[in-house]
Structure 1
Amino acid sequence: MELLLVAALVVVAVIDWPVEATDFANRLDPPSGTHLLGTDQLGRDVLARVLGGVRWTVGLGAAAVLVSVVIGTAVGLATGWLDGTRARIVGTLVQSVVDLVVALPALLVGLLVAAVLGPGLAPAMIALVVMGWAPFARLAHRLTVTARTEEWVVAARSLGAGPVWILRVHVLPAITGPLREAFTARFVGAMLTLAGLSFLGLGVQPPTPEWGAMLAEGRTYAFVAPWLVAAPAAAVVLVSALAGRSRIR
């Protein structure tokens, strides 16, 4: 199920949908055989824009989480492998920072980053990564502490294997499964945060067909053309539900 979902999203994301094709003679048309999800205030096909938004909402959310996984896993592996008094102090300090970051609301961090750097795609991605690396660091740290006491790791150390080699060859493959599960869970949160920032005008900016930005544009016409709000909202809910179901299975 998970692989099928990923494959479908990738296929949809790489297709060049006509997201900016306007038809002023058919503005705010309701759903029909010609436009299955209707048109917006500029006569743009809503279905094409929702499908085109996969590249932005889903793609950017996944990219931010992927960067977070790399950073967080590296930090967790390093701090989890440390030994000795000084090493434990460093590990404790790093984990304290991790705990602090995890405790902060993601949307609040996004607002702070946008206040400093201004609205836009880059600040939104920075906010997602700033919030995203800490949970992976905490998980990788805990798993590494457990793995380094396993017999196969102790045997590799006794044979003279270096820490980098042991972490790369033995520990990292052993903790990949839990990290993959955490990736799926974190992806949903990152996607919703990105959509929220864009809805507030702090993330991806119109006319880019990001689902949060589409919601912000469509709310002005919510009573006249409710499909402008319903379509991107349904897309967010559907992808979140499918991703959550894949994680549970």
Structure 2
Amino acid sequence: MLRCRLSPSPFLRRAYATAANDASNIRNMALVAHIDSGKTTLTESILLRSSYLSASGSVDTGSTTTDFLPAERERGITIQSASIPVKWNKWTFNLIDTPGHADFGMEVESASRVVDGAVVLMDSVEGVEAQTKGVWRQLDRYGVATRLVFLNKLDRPGASFGSSLRSLLTHRLHQHPLALTLPIASFDPKDYQHAEPGIQGIVDLVKWEVWRWDENGEAKRYPLPTDVQELEKLSFLPSDTP
């Protein structure tokens, strides 16, 4: 995940949701991206993680929460924006799942007027695509300064964190993106010889931790080693010896 903070022009400066004390912890956040980048699937994962749902739906089966229109479920695409309140700690996020198809760009336009921040999804196989640049310009137009770039589908064949970052720089979406996490495809060097896709962990560069997922999908956190002695204590990290 990459964090991009932009400085809006003076006439586009905006305040967070409201200055009222009873709503000071409310934020409007939009998920925007090129079509088929995984916005609705990510929304389902967030709803599941925040205990809004007991089981996540699927775009393939037409059982997602935000794609509720018959046409959306039949075609497997988002046609209109849908807002879901998500509680996380003391915060309440009005999470807005927006369409990715250019034909429904006015839905993104409407959402960009009212959001405090946005999560811009990128397909890690394709990199920056046409509508990625389109939604980025829409956020620029309405002064949405706080943005997170979420590199999705890193478990797919051909996905690359480095190539996605270069694509972001090549298309000049942001001059100085800051990486918050780094993906770990596998903790076993032998897996790289078979080129099997997948993500077994991440490096949290903010909290300086290594996350490792087990077979049940549960993550365990370990402090990131800062010297050789600490590195040797983490048995699951491979050594550099042949």
TM-score tier (shorter): under 0.3
Q: Which has the higher strand share?
A: 2
What TM-score do you get using the length of structure 2 for normalisation? 0.24
Q: Which has the higher helix share?
A: 1
What TM-score do you get using the length of structure 1 for normalisation? 0.23
Asked which structure has the greater RCO (Cα within 8 Å, sep 6+), the reply is 1
Instruction: Return the index of the structure with the highest Cα Rg.
Output: 1
